Amino acid sequence: MSALTLLRRRTTLRLLRTRALLGSTGAAALLLLATAGMATWWAPRVADDADVLRAQTAAESTRTRARLRDLPPDPVTQMAQFRDWFPQATRNVEDLRVVFRVAQREQVRLLRGDYVAGRQPETRLATYDVILPVRANYAAIRAFVASVLNELPHASLVDLRMERANGDLLDARVHLTLFYRED
């Protein structure tokens, strides 16, 4: 006979002896007592979980109210804040110096450059298109573009074209647009 079967038989015999000693009313009372004990043990844990949920709900509602208070009241204010993030148009010469300094640091030869000033009337932003033909290896061109975009967060890469020149060198055309707020 297996140990599991033996355990089942012993448990059944104990239950029958207990029922015979207590009677059916006593067995029901014992069951109710066990249920009450479990409820007493379980109730504080449920209360603790409810307190944690109340605290999480209060924190989330506070964050939501704060987010609603922080929102600009209207789109005009939002556009004004957006435009204020951009530097003034008088900074374009300094930005070109940054581009040339990065090119020198990354060992990229700038052969010449084309510069075109523009304007976006719908956003009231001035643009400065910078088209640079460069000659360098792939890693240097990649580092140059990444450094320019990191140092000038108001710049965007419009176009990047590369052709194999000779050996490891590439002839590339880097087209950047610098954005400035109009004053």
Residue ranges with strand state E in the chain? 109-110, 114-120, 125-136, 155-164, 170-181
pLDDT of the residue at 98: 93
Residue with tokens 């510069």, as numbered in its chain: 115
Confidence of residue 17 (pLDDT cuts 50, 70, 90): confident
pLDDT of the residue at 22: 67
Residue 72 pLDDT greater than 80, yes or no: no
Distance CA 26, CA 142 (A): 85
Inter-residue contact 113 to 97 (CB < 8 Å)? no
Confidence of residue 110 (pLDDT cuts 50, 70, 90): confident
Residue with tokens 């804040």, as numbered in its chain: 81
Share of the chain above pLDDT 70, in %: 95
Task: Give residue-wise pLDDT tens across range 135-158.
Answer: 888 999 999 999 999 999 999 999
pLDDT of the residue at 79: 79
Residue 50 pLDDT greater than 90, yes or no: no
Distance CA 127, CA 155 (A): 10
Q: Which two tokens stand for residue 13?
A: 């015999």
Mean pLDDT value across residues 173-179: 94
pLDDT of the residue at 40: 84
Of 147, 156, 150, nearest in space to 176 by CA:
156
pLDDT of the residue at 141: 92
Residue 164 pLDDT greater than 70, yes or no: yes
Confidence of residue 1 (pLDDT cuts 50, 70, 90): low
Confidence of residue 42 (pLDDT cuts 50, 70, 90): confident
The size of the chain, in residues, is 183
